[in-house]
Chains A and B, each alone.
Chain A
Amino acid sequence: MTHQNIKKFSLALVGIIAFVLPLVLRSPTYLHILVLLYFYAYLTTSWNLVGGFAGVLPLGHAAFVGIGAYTSTILFLQYGISPWIGMIVGSILATIVGVLIGLPTLKMRGAYFALATIAFSEGVRVMIENIDFLGPFKLNGPRGLLIPPLNTGLANFLFVGKEPYYYIILIMLIMALAFTYFISRSKLGYYLNAGGEEPEAAMALGVNVARAKLIAMAMSCFLTALAGTFYAQFTLYIHPRSIISLDLSFEIAFIALIGGRGSIAGPVLGALLLRPVSDFSRIYFGATLPGLHLVIFGVVLVLVMIYQPRGLQEPLTRAFNKLLDRFAVKTTMEDKK
């Protein structure tokens, strides 16, 4: 077997395991943890388009999750429009907002862009917290919106068990990963990487850096808002502090930085590592040491930044390739026999 074949094979194996897992794992608690794990992996993959490839550090992506969640929920509750349609409407809205925010801010460098995005997402949160009615739309201020679990079924994006949600977010994650894989190998991917690393050199080579970043921002916002609708339909209750919180924005960045910014596998690895820490520390230390997971994240981030500044995906990929070498050598020797 060649390297390429083994890689494809192991990727397929992981995919199959992910698909049959709910058949084995019956506990709703674990399924819930897994759904949230995929949800964060998906969010970070979306974030990675602009935060990883384009080399900027957006710290306000929760705002786009919020826009997606609120749009589809309001359309569903007030007008009875299926959340599937609301999902697309919310994403288009988030894309427009993202482009409007990106136009002035993407020109900023480093920490200034991060601060601008924090300010923007906090602004959105405070606004929604203080507005009960935005024109005809009921936002319900800080009390949030409750989706009554009536008329369950695929058309309404409402299910009794956790399994359907599991499969929906899994498929969304796979699609997002495939999309970023495709982008990273396209002209836009090359342009984003170049513009993120050395903007002046990129411009001299014909790259309109600002335009490339804006396109990445638009795509990232679109994907992020899709997850917002999913979250609303999954938890059935959204309020500004749960969905547009800085905690969420920061956790996405934590996962990306620890897993490896700008790589395809990084967000998934980061989520695989950090989500269990977060969930189990909440289960076991939630009463005595609330917020312990954030302390652990901080320590892990510091260690990773010191020893593996390009994220954990790099040593892991290296180890995986070494393992592949060993396998490949063994099999070729057997072939000769």
Chain B
Amino acid sequence: MKILEVNALVKDFGGLRAIDTLDLVIEQGQILGLIGPNGAGKSTAFNCIAGVYPPSKGDIIFSGKKINGWKPWNLCKNGLARTFQIVKPFSSKSVLYNVMVGSFVNTDKKDVAEEKALKVLNSLHFEDKKDIKAGNLTIADRKRLEIARALATEPKLLLLDEVMAGLRPAEIDELVQIIQNLRDSGITIFLIEHIMRAIMALSDRIVVIHFGKKIAEGIPEKVASDENVIKAYLGDEYVVS
């Protein structure tokens, strides 16, 4: 079953075409990786799907509903959650408070929200830090907090925007494990990542974009040896022919 379908998506910023007729499909329960050189339009594509920017052209269909122009909070209530590349914690509040903001989506009761938030923190082995102010966390923990908050909204589809950037190898391995556990629990994951080790290990399929256009798609091994991908990342002379 397709959970997300993007048909001929176009996003223009003035004269600049950031996304050019992009097609994407994510099947339920899959992990789809989105990669591309800096400025390729990865985050813009995420922002269009997550309702931050309305698309200029094309359709975005999420679990059977067309969601062009939906507001972020309505998407979230319908099961589409995201993290931010530049982390945005509620710095003056505790970790638990941060996660509870997410878990209030499906309830009005504080007790229920707190219980659910604690459950999410437990599943991420984060419960010992629940009373620490978010502003005092390390970057690795801030990234984990981003995921925890998003999970607290009980998403069907989770968009992860470079959650591994700036982490140490051991921390990356831990996060890879966490993401695999999430998939096993039935959440579909769409992730942008620059850390090749992680994205190769995680993704069922990878989509590569360059200057807003899709240049390759397929299983990780196939994409890694694709001529266009090597050209985009390393330059023409690196293509072995």
Residues in A lying within 8 Å of B, measured CB to CB: 185-187, 190-191, 193-194, 197-198, 200-209, 310
Contact = CB atoms under 8 A, between A and B. Distances in A.
A197 B90 contact: yes
Given A194-B90, A205-B101, 18 more contacts: A185-B110, A187-B104, A190-B101, A190-B113, A193-B93, A193-B101, A197-B90, A197-B93, A201-B88, A202-B90, A203-B72, A204-B73, A205-B81, A205-B152, A206-B77, A206-B104, A206-B105, A310-B92
Contact of A200 (B52, B108, B113): B52
Would you list the 6 A-B pairs with minimal beta carbon distance, nearest first? Answer: A206-B76, A201-B88, A206-B105, A203-B72, A198-B88, A194-B101
B220 interface: no
Contact of A190 (B76, B84, B92, B104): B104
Interface string B84-127: 10001111110001001110110110100100000000000000
Contacts of A202: 90, 101
Contacts of B82: 204
A24 B84 CA distance: 59
B153 interface: yes
Question: Most B CB atoms within 10 A — which of A186, A194, A209?
Answer: A194
B50 interface: yes
Contacts of B108: 187
A205 B105 contact: yes
A191 B73 CA distance: 12
B71 interface: yes
B81 A207 contact: no
Interface residues of B, number: 30
A185 B77 CA distance: 21
Interface in B158-200: none
A1 B92 CA distance: 30
A199 to B, nearest CB: 9
A9 B64 CA distance: 57
A27 to B, nearest CB: 42
A203 B71 contact: yes
26 contacts: A186-B110, A187-B107, A187-B110, A190-B101, A190-B104, A190-B113, A191-B101, A191-B104, A193-B101, A198-B90, A201-B89, A202-B90, A203-B72, A203-B73, A204-B50, A204-B84, A205-B73, A205-B101, A205-B105, A205-B152, A206-B76, A206-B77, A206-B104, A207-B101, A209-B73, A310-B92
B110 A206 contact: no
Contacts of A310: 92
Contacts of B88: 198, 200-201
B26 interface: no
Contacts of B50: 204
Contact of B89 (A186, A198, A200): A198
A321 to B, nearest CB: 14
Interface string B7-45: 000000000000000000000000000000000000000
A205 B92 CA distance: 17
Given A193-B93, A201-B88, A201-B90, A206 B52 contact: no
A204 B76 contact: yes
Contacts of A190: 97, 100-101, 104, 113
Contact of B71 (A193, A198, A205, A208): A208
A197 B88 CA distance: 9
B149 interface: yes
B223 interface: no
A187 B113 contact: yes
A264 to B, nearest CB: 15
A49 to B, nearest CB: 18
Contacts of A186: 110
